[in-house]
Structure 1
Amino acid sequence: MTEIFPNITNNMALNFLNTRLFRNGKMVEIIQSVECLKAWSEVPMDDNESYNTQLSIFNTFVENMDELKPIISFRSELYHLLTSYLRNELTESDLKNRIEEATLNNPFSLIFVDKKVIYVPAVSGIEGIQSLIYLSLSELIESGDINKLSHCANEGCPLLFINKNGRRKWCSMKICGNRAKVERFESKKTNS
C-alpha cells in the first residue's frame, strides 16, 4: 500500500498536499479513509530525521481520528492557499500571517530528545494535525524554499514540489515526466 503515495518532496506539508493524483483524465483521491491517512503517516523519508519525527507525531494524532472530512477540507484550503501564492495572488507575508493566526489558538509545547528540540502541538486531533502541517509549511518559509515552490507542468496534475535548480518541469519523472516523453514520442511517430 505504501507505494501509492508519491512523497516527492522532503517536506511533510507538501507531501500531505500531494495525496491526490491525476490518472486517466481524472483526479484520484489517495486518502480515502482514516486508515489510508494512517498508512500515509507511516511512510518514513530516508535520511530525514526531522520529517520522520513530525510524521510520527502526526501518526499519533491520526490514531484518535474517526472522521476524514475535516482533514480533506483542510488539505483543500491549504492547497488553495499555496496555489494562490504560486499565482502571485498572495505574498509570503500573507502565508506567514495565515500560519501565525492558525497556530495562535493551537500552540506547541516542546520536548527534548537528546539535545534536539521537538515541537509538539499542545492539542490533538484535527487541530494538532493542522498545527503540524503549518509547522512544516513554516520550514519552507524559513529555509527560503517557498520561493522555489512549483506546480507540475502537466496541466491536470495537482502535485507541488520544490524546484531547487529552476529547471525541473515535472512533479516526478515516474508520475508525469515519462508520460509526457512517451506522448511526445508517439506524436512524432504518427506525424512522421
Structure 2
Amino acid sequence: MANAQFPLITQNLSLDLVNTEIISYDKRHDLIQSEKDLMAWFEIMGETAPFLRSFTLQQVQEQLQRIHQFRAELRKHFESIAEGSKPSLAFIAFLQDQILDDKLARIPNGKPDESILSLIAYDALWLIHTKEIQQLKRCANEKCILLFLDKTGRRKWCSMKICGNRQKVSRHHKKNQ
C-alpha cells in the first residue's frame, strides 16, 4: 500500500501515527505495512517535522516493527483518554522513556530509530503538558477508529470528508425513502 493516502486530521505527529490504522469496508487496514509506506508517511509528516524527511529507506528498514508496537501503545492509551480517562502515570513514564537523554527536543539527537520514537513521544507529551489531550475524541461513526482533537467542543466526526459526509448522505437517503 505504498503512497497510501493517510488521514491527516489532527496536525499532531503522535495522533496521525495512531490514525494510520483505519476501518474500510468493515475491516481494519494498516496504512504502514512496509518500509516504503513508512517512508511515504515520513515524507508527508516532514511538512510539519522536517527532521523526518531526512531518513533513507535503509535507515527505516528496522523501524517498521518498533513503529507498529509504539503505535499500538499510543492507540491503547489515546483511546482510553478519548473515553474520559486521564493520562496515566504509566503512559507518561512510557513516553518519557522514549525521550533521548531525558531532554524534550523538537529535533532529537541520536540514532535514527530512537530519534523517531523520541519525536513522536515528544508530541504526545506536549499534548499532555498543554492539556490539549483533554480534547481527544473518537469519531462518532461507530465503524471508524480515527481519533482527533475537538477544539470547538462540537465536533463529532473525524472529518467531514470522511465520516461526516457519509452520515449526511445516509440521513438524506433515509429521508427520501
TM-score interval (norm. to shorter): 0.7 to 0.9
The 5-angstrom pairing of residues 51-70 of structure 1 reads: 52=48, 54=49, 56-61=50-55, 63=57, 64-67=59-62, 68-70=64-66
1:33 is matched with 34
The 5-angstrom pairing of residues 70-149 of structure 1 reads: 70-91=66-87, 93-103=89-99, 106-107=100-101, 118-125=106-113, 127-149=114-136
SS of the residue corresponding to residue 43 of structure 2 reads coil
1:48 is matched with none
2: distance between equivalents of 1:108 and 1:96? Answer: 13
SS of the residue corresponding to residue 119 of structure 1 reads coil
2: distance between equivalents of 1:20 and 1:30? Answer: 6
Q: Determine if contact 1:108/1:121 at 8 Å carries over to the other structure.
A: no
TM-score normalised over the length of structure 2: 0.84
Q: Which structure's residues are more often strand, by fraction?
A: 1
Ranges in structure 2 where 5+ consecutive residues have no aligned partner: none
Residues matched between the structures, number: 174
TM-score normalised over the length of structure 1: 0.78
The 5-angstrom pairing of residues 163-174 of structure 1 reads: 163-174=150-161
Q: Determine if contact 1:148/1:162 at 8 Å carries over to the other structure.
A: yes
Once the 2 structures are TM-superposed, how far is the Cα of residue 188 of structure 1 from its aligned partner?
Answer: 2.2
Once the 2 structures are TM-superposed, how far is the Cα of residue 22 of structure 1 from its aligned partner?
Answer: 1.4
SS of the residue corresponding to residue 40 of structure 1 reads helix
Larger Rg: 1
Question: Aligned-pair RMSD on alpha carbons?
Answer: 2.5
Q: Determine if contact 1:41/1:59 at 8 Å carries over to the other structure.
A: yes
SS of the residue corresponding to residue 158 of structure 2 reads coil
Q: Determine if contact 1:170/1:176 at 8 Å carries over to the other structure.
A: yes
1: distance between equivalents of 2:87 and 2:103? Answer: 28
2: distance between equivalents of 1:101 and 1:7? Answer: 26
Identity %: 36
CA-to-partner distance for each residue in 1:47-71, whole Å, 9 max, x for gaps? xxxx72x3x3234356412142221
User: What amino acid sits opposite 1:70 in the alignment?
Assistant: R
Counterpart pick for 1:150 among 137, 145, 159: 137
CA gap of 1:72–1:3, structure 2 versus 1, over 3 A, is closer
